[in-house]
Every structure is written in structure tokens, then in C-alpha cells.
Structure 1
Amino acid sequence: MELEFTGEIYYWRGPAPHHFVAVPEPECAALESAAALVTYGWGMIPATVHVGRTEFTTSLWPKDGGYIVPLKAAVRRSEGLELGDTVTIRLTVAAQGRVRK
């Protein structure tokens, strides 16, 4: 599954403070339909992410009925991104050879 969307970078001060971009609702619906095939637990979905010319692997986090994409500091530095910037994100989600029962 490949998805592309645009969103604003925000900072979440939760138990694991980090910068994120929220996945829009239509894309969350697509992710939800594939989640049982790809999640490795806790609703986390492994993904390859492209931001600008940077590619990295991470996991999408479930939050408030949707998903959020963590943006690593190295990615933000490499692409010159800051809090509040709007970015285009391309996600590739593929089954990891695990099927949940």
C-alpha cells in the first residue's frame, strides 16, 4: 500500500516527546483496513517514509482513532524542516510476513 498526503509538523509532549505529522482521515481508513495484516502489536504499523529526498523506516503510531507519523530529528535537519512546516509524506506499508489471528 502506498499513500501520499500533506500535513503540518507538530510537537507532542506526551510520554515520548517527538515531532509528528497526522495522517488525514481518508488515509487512516485505508491504513485501518490493512492494520491487522501488518501491525506488530499495540496498533503500530511499520512503514517506509519519504519526506523530500529523505527515506527512512519508522512505525505509524495509533492516536485518537487515527495514525501519526514520527519525524526523526535527522530527517528534519536533512530536509530543513521545523515545527509548523507543512510537508508532503509518502508512505509505503507492506505486510511483514506476519498474520495476526
Structure 2
Amino acid sequence: MEDFTVTAPLWRWQSATAPAAWFFVTITGGAADGIRMAAMTGQWLEGRKGFGSARVEANIGDTQWKTSVFPHKESGGWLLPVKAAVRKAEGLTEGRPVTVTVSL
């Protein structure tokens, strides 16, 4: 299992037609490159899902959870969704930097 750690702002995406909002951390740079390189291994390919996503374990502070990262064309990196339970447990707010470790 490989670990990649980044610090980036937590940001919100909201649909223009629905009230739901999603929160993400964008993984770029060397960590994004490392995730992409891990994509070349068979173990990672078994975890690939829709939209080119990959299953990961994520860790912010004392909170760890299983989720997926999604390719992000605009940044060339990956999007990590951060669910409400994690934001609440860690006191995260939109626009503030978050340090996250993803493992795959």
C-alpha cells in the first residue's frame, strides 16, 4: 500500500438544479503523479470503478474512512470527496486548508 499526503483547501461543489452540495480536496502535484503511477499496478486496477475512480483509504486528523478518488481534468489531479461525518469530526470548514493522507 502506498501513502500520499497533501495539504489543500476544502471546497464545495453545488448543483445549479439541486440543493445537495459535495465537498472535495483536490490532490495535485507529486501526490497526484504518485496515484497515477500506482494505477499501473494490478492491485490498483482491481480497485478501479466508474469514471476512472480508484478506491482509497483516507485519513484526516483522527478520522479514517474508505472512499474513492476521481480524476480531475481541470487540475490534472484527483478529487477526494470529504463526507459530512468527517468534516464534523475534524471541525473542517470550506476554504480552509486540510491535510489528508490517501492510501492505495
Shorter-chain TM band: 0.7 to 0.9
Conservation of the 8 A alpha-carbon contact between 1:35 and 1:43: no
TM-score of the superposed pair, with normalisation by structure 1: 0.83
Which residue of structure 2 aligns with residue 13 of structure 1? 14
Alignment length (residue pairs)? 93
Gaps of 5+ in 2: none
Q: Matched residues in 2 for 1:63 and 1:24: separation?
A: 9
Alpha-carbon separation, structure 1, partners of 2:21 and 2:92: 17
Change over 3 Å in CA distance of 1:41–1:34 after alignment to 2: farther
CA pair 71-33 structure 1, distance change in 2 beyond 3 A: same
Q: Which runs of 5+ in 1 are unaligned?
A: 94-101
Q: Which residue of 1 aligns with 2:70?
A: 61
| Paired AA for residue 27 in structure 1 | A
SS at match of 1:82: coil
RMSD of the alignment, in Å? 1.8
State yes or no: 1:3 paired with 2:4. yes
Percent identical among aligned pairs is 30
CA distance in 2, matches of 1:44, 1:66: 12
CA-CA distance at 1:2 after TM superposition: 0.6
SS of the residue corresponding to residue 30 of structure 1 reads helix
Question: In the alignment, residue 71 of structure 1 is paired with which amino acid?
Answer: V
- Kept in 2, the 8 Å contact 1:21–1:70? The answer is yes
Displacement of 1:48: 0.4
Distance 2:80 2:15 in 1: 14
**Secondary structure of the equivalent of 2:39?**
helix
Q: Distance in 2 between matches of 1:91 and 1:77?
A: 19
Q: Which amino acid aligns with 1:74?
A: A
